[in-house]
Amino acid sequence: MRIGLIVNPVAGLGGAVGLKGTDGPDTVAEALRRGANPQAGARTRLALERLAARCPGADLSVAPGPLGADWAEGSPLTLDIAHMPAASGTGRDTQLAVEAMRDASLIVFAGGDGTARDVAAALPEGAAMLGIPCGVKMHSGVFAVSPGAAGALLADLVSAPDRIAWNDAAEVMDIDEDALRAGVLAPRLYGLARVPVARRLMQASKGGPRMDSAEALTAAAQEVAHNMTPGTLYIIGPGTSAGAVMRAAGHAPTTLGTDALLDGAVVARDARASELEALASDRPVRIVLGVTGQQGFLLGRGNQQISPALIARAGREGLIVLATEEKLASLAQPRLWVDTGVPDLDTALSGYIRVRTGAGRLTMMRVGAS
Amino acid sequence: MTRLPEFHAAKWDEPLVMEMGRPGGRGQLFPAPEPEVAEAVGTGLIPAAMARKDRPELPEITEFEAQRHYLHLSQMTLGMMGISLFGTCTMKYNSKTAEYATLRPELAEVHPYQHPDTLQGVLEIIHDFDVILRSLSGMDQFIFQAGGGADAAYTMATVARAYWADRGLLGQRTEMVTSVQAHPCNPATAAAAGFTVVNLPLEDNGYPSLDALKAAVSDKTALIMINNPDDMGIYNPEIKEWVRIAKEAGALCFYDHANFNGVMGKLCARELGFDACMFMLHKTFGAPKGGGGPAVGAFGCSDELAPYLPCPVVVKNGDRYELDDDRPKSAGKVREYWGNVPQVVKAYAWARAMGAEGIELASDISVVANNYMDKKLAEIPGLAISNPDVTQRRMEMTRWSLGPLTEETGVGTADFANRMADYGIDPWWMSHEPWIVPEPFTPEAGELWSKEDIDHWIAVVAQIAQEARENPELVKTAPHNQPVAQLKGDAFEDPEKWAMTWRAYKRKVAGDTATQGVA
């Protein structure tokens, strides 16, 4: 397997100087002015050292200069420097580097959510990605837990591939930095990516086989699809969890947008609020939602197409929320959040909600107003 | 610092027993029957249609070879004779005295279908032990039919089902409420009995909030099933209020006493308001476990639920002990006969040897030992206790996380478990799923292990943490001092690589075409 390496040399700059992120050249300049030290190169070195310790001659395609090769200098790895246009100092560099490494089936990148988005946008069909965590924001499910862990994962890929499993639907998320600086956390799903993950090499010494939470979620989705009421408009929010209900009903979900079902048929795809409101007309409305990883947002982040009017129509009882138990367990706080823009509606949605994690399996989650 | 002894497990290049021996090899030479016996029995005992045509495919080896083979295999097994602080399992010494008691003919040579007149001694032990458990729980009747903790949880689910069906409310009472940190057998058995599972998440104090419980229970709730303390080691001090809220909604309350060791003799399930509870005799009460059994989940309940218990129930009638099978409202059996009676006898022996004071003291020791261990583990960089903000002392075990060390070194809890075997230590227990803290491990010292044993165990953990920093690959590729190296993960997930029988082995591993297509 051909592995390509791309470093975003300015990733993470904004964090230490309180900028919440490093998206865009102006922020980079401001971070440097505030005295930020670049971290991505040094963290890439850590990962490569771990790889080289186990697989000294391993082949690696690298982007030129500070985008890759500089940080592998002196390494015993066998490097192949990709040819690409001169660096511009923007996210475009990352995309051009991915394009220059077309033959790589895995792109390893050092960066944060912004870099992950750039990689995902340019990644050829079927190729995978893996992040060396260097960013300020890392909400995407494409990062190793540390540079060392990324290096170990790569070493496994090269020398012991049976230790690796693949996740084909890791979420690439990003947060609007301007909003974040204004105090609003606004995560959004940008796509799904294939990523290598370390297999847990262990036998179940106690407790029997582990529950496959993805399968459990599929079962929950089937239960929802099976119990849909005729004449009710089902609005299907973005994300893989809500999308599972579309799949269970026999349709491909938009995933990044909002769809709607009526009597088992798709009546809207990637719809806007006005379209959904027109469809709702005087019908009963139910809204199928997932939960954003780590922050636990239900409404008001990345799904604003589901307008306050629609939410009010559905009410708390009309929300159908799906998530895996693992996702709920990994939330920063054991809470879900809503920010519909209408304070009274947020208050009405507060309290506990039943999240479906499997067929006949629910978890009570506290809902708070953001 | 504790000095770690050098260790290497025995390694024999041992063939499978089916690959051993030679034609004609045999362990026993049975004499031909005497003429009188042959005449009395006659020939043709096995009908011709049922007699096998070919000789069975059995290993042809001597008794000595068989013994040596299995001795070698046992030597290559780490077993549970190392230092095993295997959390949630409450590792205890299984006394030889109790073992011998169960080998006596009064127990070893009886059958549950014998007339009760000939079983009075066994029945007396079962009844007396029932009474001991009543005194520890406040319940009115125990049975021992369940073959383990999960079986006892299933007993609760079926008893609840029968209870609600008897009231004509089973169609309405469809939900079981539990904590996400309860043992997975609680939601699993409730689901198997047809209930919808409602999980409560752990909130700020390390246990579910009363608000969540209030939001979860309603006139649809059939029962709640709960551990306390749970596997995080945190005792929920609001438990009485929990039971009150659940009962207010009309639900039945089941106390899963899997983690009884830290509270033995300290509390009484019935006084807290619970309707039923279960004890694991193979954990808390010193009977052996492992190899998947035999185990016993002792299930106890109030008089109100007793009519729904599985049959038979051992009862005392005057001076006589009887098997009560005439219980028309019984939920039905969860297992055959009266349960694993030898385990009940061993647990009875343990309880009698300990006495009420001894049981309470053991509980104190297990909590003190765990708190000592917590303090020592906190000194090892890279380890993090779960719920660090909770100031309340942990009970008999604590959920820990290797998260910081994993971030630093890439070495995780499964790697640690593999490496522990290199020091002759049983791999640690990680956690049930889902993992609430990253890279979890859950030690439990119990009252058995000495301070020296606990120090030794902690020294091994500290040593591996150091190795993770200095030579992470050493840990990630462990074990190195065991007869079997690290197993390849993909084999676990590929049924084509599983060989549970000689026939499957020949087909899948040895590539024997004659067995292709045979299950």
**Predicted confidence band at A207 (pLDDT cuts at 50, 70, 90)?**
very low
How many residues would you count in chain A? 370
Query: Would you put residue B446 in left (φ > 0), alpha (ψ -120 to 50) or beta?
Result: left
Q: Which of A50, A202, A203 sits opposite B410 (nearest CB)?
A: A50
- Of B173, B159, B167, B186, the closest CA to residue B302 belongs to B159
**Is residue A204 in a domain?**
no
Which chain B residues touch A360 with a CB distance below 8 Å?
191, 195-197
Report if residue A203 sits inside a domain. no
> Which residue of B177, B197, B230, B387 is the best one to mutate when testing the A interface, meaning the one whose CB has the most A CBs within 10 A?
B197
| Res B314 pLDDT > 90 | yes
Residue A53 lies in a domain: yes
Distances (CA, A) of B63 to B31, B58, B124, B253, B278: 17, 13, 40, 54, 43
- B472 and chain A in contact, CB less than 8 A: yes
In-domain check, residue A206: no
Q: Which amino acid is at A170?
A: A
| A170 and A54 both lie in a single domain | yes
Whether this model's ipTM surpasses 0.90 comes out as no
A359 shares a domain with A254: yes
Helices (H), B305-430: 341-377, 403-409, 413-420
Residue A208 lies in a domain: no
Binning pLDDT at 50, 70 and 90, where does residue A234 land?
A: very high
A169 and A230 co-located in one domain: no
Is residue A173 pLDDT above 90, yes or no? no
Residues A190 and A224 in one domain: no
Closest B-chain CA to A165: B490
For residue A172, give the 3-state DSSP assignment: strand
Restricting to B residues 307-346, those with a Cβ less than 8 Å away from any Cβ of A are none
Secondary structure class of A370 (helix, strand, coil): coil
- Same domain? For A181 and A232 the reply is no
Q: In what order do the strands lie in the sheet with B384-385?
A: B384-385, B400-401, B440-441
**Where residue A205 falls among pLDDT bands split at 50, 70, 90?**
very low
Where are the domains positioned within chain B? 17-75, 96-353, 364-476, 487-519
Residues 6+ apart with CB under 8 A from A239: A171, A189, A255, A289, A290, A292
* Mean pLDDT, all residues of chain A: 88
- B79 has pLDDT over 50: yes
* A146/B408 CB distance under 8 A: yes
pLDDT at B518 over 50: no
- For residue A113, the distance in angstroms to the closest alpha carbon of chain B comes to 19
Task: Indicate whether A237 and A340 sit together in one domain.
Answer: yes
Cis omega (within 30 of 0) on the bond before B208? no
CATH number, residue A274: 3.40.50
Residues A81 and A69 sit within 8 Å (Cβ to Cβ): yes
- Using CB atoms, which residue from A53, A198, A207 is nearest to B473? A53
Residues A160 and A243 grouped into a single domain: no
pLDDT (average), residues B442-455: 95
Query: What band does A38 get if pLDDT is binned at 50, 70 and 90?
Result: confident
Residue B7 confidence (pLDDT) above 70: yes
pLDDT digits (tens, 9 = 90+) for A327-344: 898 787 888 989 888 889
pLDDT range class, residue A293, cuts 50, 70, 90: confident
- CB-CB under 8 Å, A199 with B489: yes
Tell me if A362 and B211 make a contact (CB, 8 A cut-off). Answer: no
A201·B418 Cβ contact <8 A: yes
The residue segments making up the domain with residue A130 are: 3-198
**pLDDT per position as a tens digit, B348-365:** 999 999 999 999 999 999
Residues A113 and A9 in one domain: yes
What tokens does B145 get? 């039919």
Quick one: pLDDT band at residue A16, thresholds 50, 70, 90? low
Predicted local distance difference test score (pLDDT) of residue B474? 94
The reported pLDDT for the residue numbered B332 is 93
Domain B364-476 of CATH type 3.40.50.300? no
Interface test with B, best of A201, A217, A316, A328 (most B CBs within 10 A): A201
Nearest residue of chain A to residue B439 (CA atoms): A200
* Domain-terminating residue out of A149, A169, A198: A198
Same domain, A230 and A345: yes
Confidence of residue A369 (pLDDT cuts 50, 70, 90): confident
Mean pLDDT of B8-36: 91
Measured between CB atoms, does B93 come within 8 Å of chain A? no
pLDDT class for A183, splitting at 50, 70, 90? low
Length of chain B: 519
Lowest mean pLDDT among A234-243, B124-133, B158-167: A234-243
With an 8 Å Cβ cutoff, are A152 and B211 in contact?
no
- Please give the CATH topology (third level) of the domain spanning B96-353: Aspartate Aminotransferase; domain 2 (3.40.640)
Res. B433: pLDDT tops 80 = no
Of A150, A168, A198, the residue that ends a domain is: A198
Interatomic CA distance for residues B158 and A340, integer angstroms: 44
SS3 B298: strand
Q: Residue A34's CB: how many other CB atoms inside 10 A?
A: 13
Average pLDDT, chain B: 92
The amino acid sitting at B214 is K
> Can you point out the beta strands (E) in B281-334?
297-301, 313-317, 320-324
| Mutate which: B78, B84, B177, B180, vs A, most A CBs within 10 A | B180
Using a CB–CB cutoff of 8 Å, tell me whether B211 touches chain A. yes
Cβ-defined contact of B198 to A328 (cutoff 8 Å) = no
- Residue B433 to residue A149, Cβ atoms within 8 A: no
Give the model confidence (pLDDT) of B115-153 as tens digits: 999 999 999 999 999 999 999 999 999 999 999 999 999
Inter-chain CB proximity A148 and B412 less than 8 Å: no
Mean pLDDT in residue range B305-317: 97
Q: What is the Cα Rg of chain A in Å? A: 22
Q: How many domains does chain A have?
A: 2
Q: What is the pLDDT of residue A204?
A: 46
Q: Are residues A292 and A144 located together in one domain of the fold?
A: no
Residue of B nearest to A53 (CA): B473
Q: Once rounded to an integer, what is the mean pLDDT over residues A279-289?
A: 95
Contact A130, A155 (CB under 8 A): no
